[in-house]
């Protein structure tokens, strides 16, 4: 789509490291601020409640004293030895006369209002009037005036709480400083921790960017650890390895296919060029030419079909299901009899049920039977199919036995390779892909192919299945041979 992405500078991406550090600092800041606010609020409330409780208790003691005993202003004078009023810290006492005049100044002197003078002249002892947030100089006080009774005067008790507020403000400032220090330290620690955690992710990112830039899948991913990042790194490394193997398999398949296609195509071109002079050829030569063209076209079609099957992953989309290989072998047996006219004998031993893709398994077994019929073309003995199971639950062994020439030792380790054909098999029809497909099917079903010499002559070629579906077509380029020897044999 033209015009996309939009022109202009690309937005700057925020790194995961920065995001993690900022998030860590933000969470720490939120928690620190919340804890600081709650702690300061609780401490301030406790201090204020404590001071209020002390002041309330002092005032109540004065009221109880003047109610129980007849007292005069001189009894509360600070100059009188053994005076009755106990003065707690930050508490000021001032004594008023009968008319509300100051008899004994407090330190500092407290203001006297009309309400205070009215209490001083009251006849009942213990009458109370309170004043809050009274400013005396630069300080704030709470003041309570208690009457002595019979109009003899009153006692003023004051508590300074501006010092308490100053203390709380200092505590507030220190709390803010401490919270700021914690937030800064959390940011620095978060950055260090984010750098430590994301270091391996940065390595993975660099490796992915290198793969995208260079298209080289062989890049090593040096990631260690047993945590999720380590698992991600190992999974990424395995993914690159499998992609590299897949790319190598595709490249090799294309090269091998190109090589194998050249021969029938060259022969077709030669015969087609002869068609220009077909009128000049004898009738017998014409018939041979047409027959050759038909045979080459069929071989080319078979080769292309097998290449398509191999490249498409052997029916990768076919869903796995529980299958009975005995039923599949029965279908292959009937099909082989119709195609080759040979007698095929099926022997079943044990439970032959397993999990697999029936289409792939049928193709592999058909390839083995057709391979046996081709190399034992003039044989009279029946081709045998042996199914044995299970060596372990879900494992089945498939064998196809013939009385052909057997397998040469030099060819044994290569008969399951793609396009490989033994020297004595190159004159026979085939593409060299049949046994390769057998190997791919076996490996895709958690098994392996095998081939060995049959006692009394001939060969035994087969495969095992079981252990779970591991892929549509398997991978790798090894032969998959598990044992055997013999001579004189090729692949389909």
At residue 14's C-alpha, the angle toward residues 10 and 17, to 5°, is 150
CB neighbour list of residue 350: distance below 8 Å, 6 or more residues apart: 388, 389, 390
Find the helix or strand (DSSP H, E) in which 303 lies. Answer: helix 283-311
pLDDT score of 160 more than 80: no
Q: Average the pLDDT over 214-222 and give the result.
A: 69
Tell me, what's the pLDDT at 418?
Answer: 65
- What's the confidence (pLDDT) of residue 398? 92
This model's pTM is above 0.75:
no
pLDDT, mean of residues 73-81: 70
Q: pLDDT band at 316, cuts 50/70/90? A: low
> Given a cut of 50, is residue 480 above it in pLDDT?
no
Question: What percent of the chain is modeled with pLDDT above 90?
Answer: 4
Decide: 92 and 120 in contact? Cβ < 8 Å. Answer: no
Residue 278 structure tokens: 């077909």
**How much is the CA Rg of the chain, to the nearest whole Å?**
51
Per-residue model confidence (pLDDT) at position 430: 47
The reported pLDDT for the residue numbered 397 is: 92
Catalogue all structural domains in the chain, each as residue range(s) with its CATH number.
18-167 (3.30.450), 217-317 (1.10.287.130), 318-465 (3.30.565.10)
Residue position matching structure tokens 């022997």: 347
Q: What is the pLDDT of residues 185-214, one digit of tens each?
A: 887 887 887 777 777 777 777 777 777 777
Q: CA 258, 264, 267, 269: dihedral to nearest 10 degrees?
A: -60
Mean pLDDT of 229-247: 76
Q: For the ranges 44-58, 142-156, 200-214, 216-230, which has the lowest average pLDDT?
A: 216-230
Please determine, for residue 241, whether its predicted confidence score (pLDDT) is greater than 80: no
Query: Chain centroid to CA 189: how far?
Result: 25
pLDDT at 346 over 60: yes
Q: What burial class does residue 6 get, using C-beta atoms within 10 Å of its C-beta: 0-12 exposed, 13-18 middle, 19+ buried?
A: exposed
Place of tokens 């709380």: 168
How confident is the model over 22-45, as a mean pLDDT? 80
Distance CA 312, CA 223 (A): 34
Name the one residue in this structure whose structure tokens are 């860590």.
24
For residue 14, count other CB atoms closer than 10 A to its CB.
9
* Whole-number pLDDT of residue 87: 55
Higher pLDDT, 70 or 89: 70
Q: How far is it, in rounded angstroms, from Cα 94 to Cα 158? A: 8
The per-residue pLDDT of the chain, averaged, comes to 75
Report pLDDT for 492. Answer: 41
Question: What pLDDT is attached to residue 72?
Answer: 82
Paired sense of beta strands 383-388 and 353-356, if any: unpaired
- Which one is predicted more confidently, 199 or 386? 386
Most confident of the ranges 41-55, 171-185, 299-313, 410-424: 171-185
- Has residue 10 got a pLDDT over 70? no
pLDDT tens-digit map of 407-423:
777 666 767 776 555 54
Whether pLDDT at 475 is above 50? no
Indicate whether 67 pLDDT > 70: yes
Question: What CA–CA distances, in Å, run from 271 to 114, 265, 276, 293, 406?
Answer: 135, 10, 9, 7, 35
Does the pLDDT at position 13 exceed 70? Answer: no
The 3-state DSSP class for residue 33 equals helix
**Per-residue CA distances from 165 to 91, 110, 168, 173, 350 (Å):** 15, 20, 5, 12, 93
- Specify the pLDDT at position 309: 64
Mean pLDDT of 140-153: 86
Over range 476-487, report the average pLDDT.
Answer: 36
DSSP 2-14: TT-SPSSPPPPPP
The answer to whether 447 touches 467, Cβ cutoff 8 Å, is yes
The whole-number average pLDDT for the span 314-329 is 78
Alpha carbon of 268 to those of 225, 257, 287, 301: distances in Å?
Answer: 60, 17, 15, 13
Q: For the chain, what is the largest distance between any 2 Cα atoms, rounded to a whole number of angstroms?
A: 160
Residues 6+ apart with CB under 8 A from 315: 309, 357, 359, 360, 363, 472
88-136 pLDDT, tens digit per residue, is 556 788 888 888 888 888 888 888 888 888 888 888 888 889 888 788 8
pLDDT recorded at residue 463: 92
As a whole number of angstroms, the distance between CA 126 and CA 150 comes to 11
**Over pLDDT 70: what percentage of the chain?**
75
């Amino acid at each position: 789509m033209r015009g996309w992405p939009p022109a202009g500078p690309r937005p700057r991406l925020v790194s995961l490291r920065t995001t993690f550090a900022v998030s860590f600092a933000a969470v720490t800041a939120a928690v620190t601020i919340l804890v600081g606010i709650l702690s300061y609020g609780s401490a301030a409330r406790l201090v204020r409640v404590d001071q209020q409780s002390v002041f309330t208790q002092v005032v109540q003691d004065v009221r109880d004293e003047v109610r129980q005993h007849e007292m005069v202003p001189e009894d509360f004078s600070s100059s009188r030895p053994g005076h009755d009023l106990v003065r707690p810290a930050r508490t000021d006492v001032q004594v008023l006369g009968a008319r509300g005049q100051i008899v004994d100044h407090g330190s500092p002197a407290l203001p006297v209002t009309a309400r205070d003078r009215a209490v001083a002249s009251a006849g009942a002892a213990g009458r109370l009037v309170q004043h809050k947030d009274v400013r005396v100089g630069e300080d704030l006080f709470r003041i309570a005036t208690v009457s002595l009774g019979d109009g003899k005067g009153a006692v003023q008790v004051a508590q300074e709480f501006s010092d308490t507020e100053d203390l709380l403000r200092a505590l507030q400032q220190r709390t803010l400083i401490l919270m700021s220090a914690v937030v800064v330290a959390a940011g620095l620690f978060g950055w260090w921790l984010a750098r430590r955690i994301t270091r391996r992710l940065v390595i993975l990112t660099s490796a992915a960017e290198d793969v995208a830039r260079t298209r080289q899948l062989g890049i090593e991913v040096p990631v260690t650890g047993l945590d999720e990042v380590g698992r991600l790194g190992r999974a990424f490394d395995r993914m690159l390895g499998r992609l590299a193997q897949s790319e190598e398999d595709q490249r090799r398949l294309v090269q091998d296919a190109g090589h194998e296609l050249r021969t029938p195509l060259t022969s077709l071109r030669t015969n087609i060029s002869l068609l220009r002079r077909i009128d000049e050829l004898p009738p017998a030569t014409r018939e041979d030419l047409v027959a050759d063209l038909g045979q080459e076209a069929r071989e080319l079609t078979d080769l292309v079909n097998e290449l398509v099957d191999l490249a498409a992953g052997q029916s990768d989309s076919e869903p796995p299901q529980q299958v009975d290989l005995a039923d599949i072998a029965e279908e292959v047996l009937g099909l082989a009899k119709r195609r080759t006219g040979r007698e095929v004998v099926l022997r079943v031993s044990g439970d032959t049920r397993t999990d697999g893709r029936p289409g792939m398994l049928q193709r592999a077994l058909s390839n083995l039977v057709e391979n046996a019929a081709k190399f034992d073309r003039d044989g009279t003995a029946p081709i045998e199919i042996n199914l044995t199971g299970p060596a372990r639950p879900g494992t089945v062994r498939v064998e196809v036995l013939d009385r052909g020439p057997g397998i040469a030792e030099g060819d044994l380790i290569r008969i399951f390779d793609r396009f490989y054909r033994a020297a004595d098999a190159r004159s026979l029809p085939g593409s060299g892909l049949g046994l390769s497909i057998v190997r791919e099917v076996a490996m895709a079903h958690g098994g392996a192919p095998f081939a060995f010499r049959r006692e009394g002559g001939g060969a035994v070629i087969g495969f095992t299945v079981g252990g779970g579906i591991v892929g549509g077509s398997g991978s790798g380029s090894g032969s998959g041979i598990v044992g055997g020897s013999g001579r004189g044999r090729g692949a389909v």
